[in-house]
Each structure stands twice: as C-alpha cells, then as structure tokens.
Chain A
Amino acid sequence: MGCSICTVISNKPVAEGLYLMSVEAPGICSTALPGQFVHVRTGDVIDPLLRRPLCINRIDSGNGTLDLLYRVVGRGTAALAGKKPRDPLDVLGPLGNGFTVRGNFRNALVIAGGMGIAPMFFLIDELIRTEKYVTLLWGARTAAELFVSSADFAPGGLTLHTATEDGKAGHAGYVTDLLASILEQLSDAGSARAYTCGPVPMLKTVQKIMSGRGIPVEASLEERMACGIGVCAGCSVNTVQGKKLVCKDGPVMNLMEIVYDE
C-alpha cells in the first residue's frame, strides 16, 4: 500500500450518473485483491476535503490499469466525473481486506445491488480464473445500468441473472427476490460460497435468506470514513464480536456476523 499520483486513462459515463474511470496504477494493480478499495483525492483542493473510498471495480494487470465505478452523488464524485484523460489522480491503496477467492469450493454466488456491483467484476474475473462456477445476481435501478453482460467475462464462466426496479430488464423488482430460487437450483450447496455488496436493506435480506444454509457469505460493506486506514475510527460497524472498522477490518466481512439494528 502507498500513496501515489496516478494517471487517468479514460473516464466515461456508462449510464446516467454512473461513471467508469480507468487509471494507470501498475503498483496498485500488482498487489490488489478483489474487494479491496482505494482512497482517492478529488483534486489538489481543500474543498471537498476528504478522500473518497472507491472499490476496485476491475483490474487489467497486463496494462497495469484499474477501473473505478462510481455514481455522481455529491461534490466529490462530481469532481471525479470532471477528470480527463492524462489528468493526475492521487490514489491511496490498495486498502482493506479482500474477498476469499481461493479454497476448495466449486460454486460462487455473487449478489450485487445498485453500486454494490462496484467490487464484483474484479472478483468474478478472479473466481473464473480459479475455475469456479460463478452465478451473478445483479440488481439495478434501470436496464441501462446493467452495462456489461456475461460476454464481457471469460467464456463459460458466468451465469447472469438480472433484476431492475423499472422492470425493463430481467426480473421486475429486487435482486433478492431471485435469491431463494437460485439457491434451490444450486447443485452442490455444500461446495459454495456467496459474495454480496449493496444497500443495507438488501444486505439484511440476503442475511435472512442465507441464514442457516451453511454457505459462507462475505459482504463488502460501506460506511462514512475519513482516513481509510483505521486511524479516525469513523467507519464503525456492529458485529457479533463488537464494533469493528469497515476500512481496516473490512471492507469485506462475514455477513452473518454483522449486527443490524431492527
């Protein structure tokens, strides 16, 4: 991990308000694990002041570039959306703990809602590379936000199920509506792992549905943070083992150990 000035390669909208930025960062790419994040300054300014934590969306290790997927929701992400190719970008990372990719399991179930897709392409690439059979349940607000297909991954590795809130693609509704039936179809639940990321209501639903099935579920969590490395203690999360920090102890944690308020 380190702090470095990288170079923006490209930065384009992939759907309304949703941007994909590609950054030349060979040092980060050489050590990053799926699920880790980077902490990005939006410019050489004091306003907005803080860095923005962004999951690593995908890595092209051959070219030493990483992709960051973000939705423009405030001044910081608006500043990021204004970055042009060749602009410098101050990137701290890779930070945090990633997903468990290696291990003796066959099936990988990936459940992503909204911006929860952000860390998943890197994860799916690695799961396919290690010969896992991957099922992705991807929920989005609109069909336009489902901006990649199974053809964008290594052949034969990925089965994709989608859900949209506007009902224009896949299941009309939430992605968690699909989860129970997908689990029924899972041929060998004893050799499966699940990975999830999304808004808290979705994570709560996933936690309920996955409860008691014996399938390990890792969630990439999100919380407001300042430092990104476990110093400010801002990003606390309640777990069965007490409070932990999303940036340092996560962002990937065992979903079944997260304690949500009722």
Chain B
Amino acid sequence: MSDLSLTIGGLVFKNPVITASGTFGYGTEYAPYLDVSRLGGIVTKTITLLPREGNPVPRVAETPAGMLNSIGLANVGVDEFLKRKLPALADLDTRVIVNIAGNTAEEYAAVAAKAGAFGRVDAIEINVSCPNVKQGGLAFGTDPEATYQVVRAVRNETGKVLITKLTPNVTDITEAARAAVEAGSDALSLINTVLGMGIDITTRKPLLARGTGGLSGPAVKPIAIAKVYQAARCVDVPIIGLGGIRQWEDVVEFMLAGASAVQVGTWNFVEPGGAARIVAGLEQYCASRSLARLADLVGTVDIDET
C-alpha cells in the first residue's frame, strides 16, 4: 500500500484530495453520494461573522468548460455554523478546514477565534480572494500588505493550522504568497476564481446580475498550474493547488508543479462523488507505478532552467 499522506503545519492528511470551499456545502450535503471519510479533508463554504444572503440572481452561469459565479459568500454565519453545522462532522475521519472571511482584519480574527475554539476544526483557510463581495475578499488579496495584516490578525487569535487562499487576479502571485507566509500562514491554497464576465448578446445583459464574477472549472486549470508553479518556488510552506481538477491525472500535474495537496471544486457539482473517485485513481496510480510515497512527486516537474 503506497503512502498518500502529507503534513501541513504538523497536521497529517491521509491523502492530498480535499474538497474546495463553496463547492462542498457545510460538509454533509454530499454524504449520500460519497464516503466523506475517503477524502484527505474538506473545506467548508466561507463563514463570516454575521449571516449573509449573497448576491442577486442570476449568480451562476456556464461558460466554455467552466462556470462563473457571484454567490457573494452566502452562509449562515459563524455562530449558527458552529452550533448547527459543525457537530454533524464529528464522526468523519477527514480533516475539517473552516474557510473564513470578513469585512475587516478584525472580523477575520473574530471568526477565527470562535471557530478555533472547537477541537473538530483542524485548520482555518483565510479567504482573501473572493471576487464577489464589495468589502474584504479580493481587496485584501490583491494588496500584499493587506494580506499580511489579515493573516497576522488571525494568527494572533488562534493556534490552528492556517492556510491562506490566494487570488490569481494579480500580476505577481509571489508577493501575496510571501506576505501570507511572513504573517504566519502554515500553507497557501491557490487559486481562487479568476475574475470573469459574460454577456448575453440578445438581451445585452451580463450573464451574472452583478456583472463580473469568478471563473472556475477545467477552463482555469492551466492558469492554476502556472500560479502553483510560481508560488511553490518562492515560499517554503506547502501549497494546496486548485483550479479545474476533475481527475487523478490533474492531481499528479498539480503535484509536479509544486502542490503538496489539492482541492476539488467545481467538479463536485458535475460529479457528486467525483472527489472520492480521484482518491481511488491516485491509489491505483501509485500501485501501478510502484510509487512508495506520492509526496515524492511534489515539485518534480522536469523543466530546463534558463
């Protein structure tokens, strides 16, 4: 049996397949379709201090090999989440990562302090990369100094493993990557969605009510691979790669680029249970290649340095 495990900030994940924020609900919705305990981990949808209803519809739209969304971080709020949603995850044999966001660094810290008080929460993912909210979100992620302040504020509130989720909507992702690590982030996850827009040429209306939104799905995978490759070469913490993953081959590709783990996002919508099949695919890959440790692949892309 090959070893698929990895360690992030001292926390062991049994395999590198994690479900991405916003695509796996509060962790139980997909239970009828897959054994959640097969996964290395799950990330909850973004949790904020107060409940949010999100943006007006249409707030999802299909694009070639992808989709646009502008959900707007609709969620029940941290108190309701901890009281009513988290307990349902008690018996799962998988890592539970709570994704958080706020309008200010203090709000991030407040949510982290509340969530961090629960033993079932294994790690916190800091969302500084949502393109669909007016305040916070992307505004923090595109400014390395603001990224630093948010991560620092969260770091001061909790000893949990911290993962900072970065946006691809910057010229140089290594600036935000370095800032997050300097502020105490144990790992980075990237990429969040790519800012995108579509227009119906008959009605002249944007496909999303809010105009722009975040692009995800197979269409963004090459962008994600490039960003992971760039980030992995400039920081020493583990990178969690995501963007368009739908099969085990994609996971191997992300690992070669430098990712220690991955997240499966939009594909959950297409194939409920697809994430568990990716785990099975990786097991077969390791067995067929007699690979003792999957982690040995990380960053081994064979590229001529010039």
Q: Could you tell me which A residues sit within 8 Å of B by CB distance?
A: 1-3, 41, 46-51, 76, 92, 223-237, 242-243
Contacts and interface: CB of A to CB of B under 8 A. Distances in A.
B74 interface: yes
A243 B54 contact: yes
Contact of B269 (A1, A223, A231): A231
Contact of A50 (B54, B71, B269): B269
Contact of A227 (B57, B59, B268, B273): B268
A46 B268 contact: no
A41 B246 CA distance: 15
Contacts of B53: 236, 242-243
5 contacts: A49-B67, A227-B268, A230-B25, A230-B29, A234-B71
B196 interface: no
Interface string B232-276: 000000000000001000000000000000000010111111000
Most buried by B among A50, A226, A227: A226
Given A46-B65, A226-B67, A231-B24, A236 B217 contact: no
Contact of B74 (A47, A49, A233): A233
A50 B62 contact: yes
A2 B30 CA distance: 10
B64 interface: yes
Contacts of A243: 53-54, 74
A229 B270 contact: no
B270 A41 contact: yes
A88 to B, nearest CB: 14
B222 interface: no
A-B residue pairs, 9 tightest by C-beta:
A234-B60, A227-B269, A231-B25, A47-B65, A226-B269, A243-B53, A46-B218, A224-B58, A233-B74
Contacts of A234: 57-60, 69, 71
Contacts of A235: 57, 60
Chain B interface, >50% SS class: loop
B22 A232 contact: yes
Contact of B273 (A3, A47, A225, A236): A3
A243 B74 CA distance: 10
Given A46-B65, A49-B65, A1 B32 contact: yes
Given A231-B30, A232-B269, A233-B74, A223 B58 contact: yes
B242 to A, nearest CB: 16
Nearest to A243: B53
B57 A49 contact: no
B67 A2 contact: no
Given A226-B266, A227-B23, A232-B22, 11 more contacts: A3-B33, A49-B65, A49-B66, A92-B272, A226-B67, A227-B269, A227-B272, A228-B269, A230-B29, A232-B71, A236-B57
B139 interface: no
B75 to A, nearest CB: 8
A70 to B, nearest CB: 16
A179 B119 CA distance: 59
Nearest to A242: B53
B121 interface: no
A231 B218 contact: no
A235 B22 CA distance: 14
A236 B30 contact: no
B36 to A, nearest CB: 13
B61 interface: yes
Contacts of A41: 270
B74 A50 contact: no
A236 B57 CA distance: 7
B60 A226 contact: yes
Interface string B20-41: 0011110001101100000000
Contacts of A2: 32-33
Nearest to A232: B269
Contact of A236 (B54, B65, B270, B272): B54
Contacts of A226: 60, 67, 69, 266, 269
B181 to A, nearest CB: 31
B65 A231 contact: no
B272 A49 contact: no
Contacts of B270: 41, 49-51
A231 B85 CA distance: 13
A231 B28 CA distance: 10
B62 A232 contact: no
B269 A224 contact: no
A46 B218 CA distance: 7
Interface string B63-85: 01111010100100000000000
Contacts of B66: 49
